Amino acid sequence: MYLSKNVIISQSKMNNNYSFSNDQMNGIVEQTYANIIKECKKLKKDTNCPNEQIVALLSVIASNFTSIVEEKNT
């Protein structure tokens, strides 16, 4: 497994009322994580961009979901 439930919970400001089930963590969550890592490595290899560019891209992607979380909390 690439990540643990504790990493997801402790490193993000997620809704305290929700957490992935063990089945989800061992299935779709782990698959999604692996796919994101694989695609980022491919992007880096294909473009020869620095890690900082990958981080910037992931930050932009994350910001698309951050506004959804903030809207639900208001």
In this predicted model, what pLDDT tens digit does every residue of 9-37 receive, in sequence order? 444 555 567 899 999 999 999 999 999 99
Tell me which of 72 and 1 has the higher pLDDT.
72
Q: Are residues 1 and 26 in contact, defined by beta-carbon separation less than 8 angstroms?
A: yes
- Alpha-carbon distance of 13 to 32, in angstroms, equals 19
Output DSSP code: residue 44: H
The string of pLDDT tens digits covering residues 51-71 is: 999 999 999 999 888 865 555
What pLDDT is stored for residue 73 in this prediction? 62
Distances from the Cα of 50 to the Cαs of 29, 36, 43, 59, 60, in angstroms? 26, 17, 10, 15, 16
